Every structure is written in structure tokens, then in C-alpha cells.
Amino acid sequence: MAKLYFTYSSMNAGKSTLLLQASYNYRERGMGTLLLTAALDDRAGAGTIASRIGIADRAELYADGDDLFERLRARQAEAAAADGPDLACVLVDEAQFLSPAQVWQLARAADDLGLPVMCYGLRTDFRGELFPGSAALMAIADSLREARTICHCGRNATMVARLDAEGRAMAEGAQVEVGGNERYVALCRSHWRTALETGAPVPAPVKVDR
């Protein structure tokens, strides 16, 4: 039976890398995949899923209001009629931007179309609040997995801080702000809370040469 999967984490935990690797594994075995990413996130270019370690692939865009069940049903039928691999798996990047209705559409695709749907996204925003899409996935996904990254102290980083121009954690602002990855830092809960309470600058991640 196909399932709805949700792999969640803080920033910079390698979610896109995991997605691209999963798609590669399917295709290596002659199976077709469909990659989806949020239309509002164009950091790597519209319709591109890119990882920090330098791998990328093309993806279809989804926007608020799109009926993902109908799209997947149509794509499944197209793949079955074409001279090529059937659609074996759907992989969704930036799944925190899904609407709750779209999460249910993906669940229906798993249940009614027999399509495994693997979603990857942030669990919480810089205020420590669940994104609506992530909340719906946490509630109804068949399988939940945390992709781990570490805080500067070495502990598991479960939170994300949005920094102002002085490197201090912000407590207010719009939930969605695309771009400016250098303004976001993954922290453990303790250091995230301390950063908000004290207003002290947060250590920035060290840039690593590939």
C-alpha cells in the first residue's frame, strides 16, 4: 500500500539532497518520478530543486490553490499511456508551503492512486510555530522522519532563527520570507530560546569549500 511520507527538519539539514537521492534511486531502477516544488521559492531558479552540496534537478511547480490530486491522476495516466516508465513516486520539496487541503490531496493520491508521496520540508518557522502544511503533514502522514542537523553547540538543531542585520534573532515578522539563506541559522531549542531572550548575536555557520 502506498504511503504519504514527511521528512522534516530545521534549515540546512540536507532535505533536498535526500529528495534528489531518492529520485535518483527510483530512476536508476527504471522507475519514473515526479518532482514538485513551491512556485514561490525561486532561490535556485524557478522549477529547480538544488542542494547545498551542488546537485540539482528540474521540478514542476505547485502554487496555492492547485489541485494536486487531479494533477497526479493526470500525470499517472499520461505516464501509463506513454512509451516510458510508469510514475512510481512523487517527491515534494518545500512541503511546508503546501496548504492543508493540498496535503489531503496528496494523501488521497497515496490512498486512491497507489502513488507513494514523499514530502520534505521545515517543521517550524523562526517563531517556533508550525507551518500550516507541516502541521497537516504531522497530523496525517503515514510516516514521519526527522532529518537532523546540529547547532553550533553540537546538539540536535530542531529550531531555526531568522537574523536581523546585526545577527540577532528576530521574534516578529511574516512567516514566509523566501531567499536570504544567510539570515537563517539552525539552533537547538536551548540556544534558540536564549537568542530570543538575550538579543545576543547568533554565531553564523562556517562556510565550507566543496
Whether residue 60 lies in the annotated active site: no
pLDDT in tens, 39-58: 987 666 677 888 888 888 99
- Rounded to two decimals, what is the model's pTM? 0.89
The type of residue at 3 is: K
pLDDT in tens, 127-174: 999 999 999 999 999 999 999 988 989 999 999 988 888 888 888 877
Distance CA 121, CA 37 (A): 10
**What distance lies between CA 162 and its chain's CA centroid?**
17
Given 28, 60, 78, 94, the catalytic residue: 94
Going through the chain in order, the beta strands assigned E by DSSP cover: 4-9, 32-38, 48-50, 56-58, 60-62, 87-92, 117-122, 143-146, 159-162, 184-187
pLDDT at 83: 84
pLDDT in tens, 60-99: 999 999 999 999 999 999 999 988 899 999 999 999 999 9
Q: What is the DSSP letter of 12?
A: T
Q: Which domains does the chain have, with CATH numbers?
A: 4-147 (3.40.50.300)
What would the grid cell of residue 163 be?
537574523
The type of residue at 87 is: L
DSSP annotation string for 35-73: EEEETT--TT-TTEEE-TTS-EEE-EEE-TT--HHHHHH
Say whether pLDDT at 180 is over 70: no
